[in-house]
Every structure is written in structure tokens, then in C-alpha cells.
Amino acid sequence: MDSSNQPPLPIIDLEAFTSASDTATRLEAGKQLVSACHDVGFVYIKNHGVSESELSRAFDVSKKWFDLPTDQKMKAPHPPGWAVHRGYSWPGLEKVSNLVSGPAADGGSDDEFIEKLRQVQDFKESYEVGSDQNPDQPNVWPPTDVLPEWQPCMSSFYSTCFEAGKKILQALALGLGLDENHLLDFHSGDYNQLRLLHYPPIPAAAIDEGKFARMPAHTDWSTITLLFQDDCGGLQVENVHKPGTFIDATPIPGTLVMNVGDLLMRWSNDHLKSTSHRVQLPPLQDRFTGASKKTRARYSIPYFLTTDPDLLIECLIADENHPPKYEPITQRDYAAMRARMQY
């Protein structure tokens, strides 16, 4: 892919928003963030509030988990079905899709189409963590002797990410012309999701031949996603100026990648953009050498902020010239509509 003529993703520094005391400075920072989310939907964020030491520990402990033998990881298995997102998902269990609902394009049933979609496996493994205050999705933790530091580390990092997310929600609200806490008031923090991801080494040919995908193009369902990635590379964002082409979201030290989710796009009456993205093979120079051309292992940590499930989401930006495009919906109903395609 030739990305030499493609625009880079914007970089937003939140230091002015988090440290300034005057309203004008904070408002300007919020407007810059909203402008980037309107134009592209993906941004790098500097001074996001997650310390390097906390981030490094989360990645270290994540690697320890995925290095465990499979029988140990299976002591905290992802529950069956699509309704609960907790615990360990082994390679091939999950199939990320950008579909919502509706009949198959070829006239077949939904179930037939979903089965066809799942024939190309996503070659990754993951572990889902939530709040212990979430009554709908209880955490699935491994026995303490499997990896003693796992539960305390990930519970702490979950809270750290929410603190960072709060500032971003406040900046977005100000930039949209709302009260600073308008978006935040819909997020107790009890319904967010922390995901630890590992993409094992895989021969490039297996992906090229269509047998496996790292993660195909999709959008996220939530309000916003915060993504921390290692230095491997592979994340690509669709170029909004040239649909169907993708921009490399090359890791930049000291930043996280933030993107708008489908729920926030709907909430903003499409003023903010939820942009398609995927995980491909890392650049050729980062693959293992040799006849097999295996990829490097890749680790990433996305954190999904979402509204409390039974609060009604209605278009925020709507007037005579911009009528609401969407009916009001709760996050619970929207997630159910999307999730049955995934597991």
C-alpha cells in the first residue's frame, strides 16, 4: 500500500485541556478534538493521563498471560455465546464483523451468511475485563495461582483508563457546545471494557491465501475507544477521502490512539465519524526473515467506553436544518443487535 500521498492522522495534545484553568483555552482544545473527530474519526492523543510505568506494567503482565500454556489460560474461558464479553478467548473463537443485521445479500438466511463469514478465522487471542460493579457481565478471573498479578493489575489499569477517558469525554462535550459533563453523565464506568490482545506469529501466506485474518475492517460499537499498541505496527484506518484505501496508524511513543465509536456517531447525528479500521500484517521489514515470512507477535490494549445500558441515546445535534437521522435507542438494545454477529 502506497501511503505517501495520504494525509496523516491528526495529533491532539490534551495538556492544555487538563492543565489550563481558563475556559477559553479548554474550549479551544475541545474544539480541536471535535474537529479531528468530525473530519477523520481517529486521532493520536498526547498527554492523555496514563503514565508510562502503568502502561509498561500492563503490557508486561499481558504478555505473561498469553505466554501461559493453553490449559492454564482455559481456566478463565470466555462464556459461550455473544451476550457476555469476559475472560479468555482463544484463536478463532471471535469473528469481528462490521455487519449490523438484516438478510444475507445472496438471499440466504442470516445464520447461513454468518457461518460463511466465520470461515475466515481471526487469528488472535484476547482477554476481556470489566468492572466488578457490572451486574450484567461478571468478570471471569483465573485462579490466583495461575498468574497472581493478573487480577490486581488489570483491575487497576481498568480504572486508570477510565480516568483518561473521562477527560476525553469532557473535552468532546465542550467542543460540541455542551456542558462539560454532559457525555460523562451517561458513563458510570461500570459498563466499559478492557481488552488485552495478542496476535501470535503466523505465516504471511496463511493470511494472503485468505485462511486467516488478523482483524478485518470494522467499526467499534461504543462511545469511544482508547487504544494502546506496541511497536509492531499493523493498525490501519480507512482514508475518509479515498474510501477503500487505508492509512497506517504507525505507533507513536507517548500517545494513545482514540477513535469514535458507532454509538457516539449515532448520538452526534453523524457529526462525529466512526471510521472503519483493521489490523493487517506489519510492514515487511518487521516480519521474521526466512522462507516462512512469519509475522512478529503483536500486543495491543483497547479500552472501550460505553454508556450505561438503559439510558436513552437521542441525537444531540439536531435542528430544522439537521433533523435526527436515528430513532432513540439504548446501548443495551444496540449492542444486542451487533453482538450476535461476533461470537
Alpha-carbon gap, residue 37 to 272, rounded angstroms? 5
Q: Where are the domains of the chain?
A: 12-97+109-342
User: Residue 304: which H helix or E strand, with range?
Assistant: strand 298-305
Q: Is 304 exposed, middle or buried (0-12, 13-18, 19+ CB in 10 A)?
A: buried
Which residues lie closer than 8 Å to 255 by C-beta, 6 or more apart? 11, 44, 45, 46, 48
Query: What pLDDT, on the 0 to 100 scale, is given for residue 2?
Result: 39
Joined grid coordinates for residue 218: 470494522
Amino acid at site 105: A
pLDDT band at 282 (very low <50, low <70, confident <90, very high): low
User: Which residues are registered as beta bridge partners of 305?
Assistant: 224
Taking 70 as the threshold, does the pLDDT of residue 157 lie above it? yes
Alpha-carbon gap, residue 263 to 247, rounded angstroms? 23
DSSP calls for 257-280: EEEE-HHHHHHTTTSS----EEE-
Mean pLDDT of the chain: 84
Three-class secondary structure of residue 31 per DSSP? helix
Query: What pLDDT, on the 0 to 100 scale, is given for residue 95?
Result: 45
Residue of 204 and 234 predicted with greater confidence: 234
Alpha-carbon gap, residue 66 to 57, rounded angstroms? 14
Nearest to 280 by CA among 82, 43, 3: 3
Summarize the confidence of residues 193-221 as an average pLDDT: 77
Residue of 83 and 253 predicted with greater confidence: 253
Alpha-carbon gap, residue 93 to 76, rounded angstroms? 14
Q: Give tens-digit pLDDT for 32-70.
A: 999 999 999 999 999 999 999 999 999 999 999 999 999
3-state helix, strand, coil split of the chain in percent (to 5) is 30, 20, 50
Alpha-carbon gap, residue 278 to 237, rounded angstroms? 7
Strands (E), 14-131: 42-46, 87-89, 121-122, 125-129
CA 26 vs CA 213, 272, 339: distances in Å: 41, 19, 37
Three-class secondary structure of residue 13 per DSSP? strand
Alpha-carbon gap, residue 161 to 48, rounded angstroms? 9
Nearest to 139 by CA among 74, 182, 84, 69: 84
Taking 50 as the threshold, does the pLDDT of residue 117 lie above it? no
Lowest mean pLDDT among 135-139, 151-155, 197-201, 271-275: 197-201
Query: What pLDDT, on the 0 to 100 scale, is given for residue 201?
Result: 81
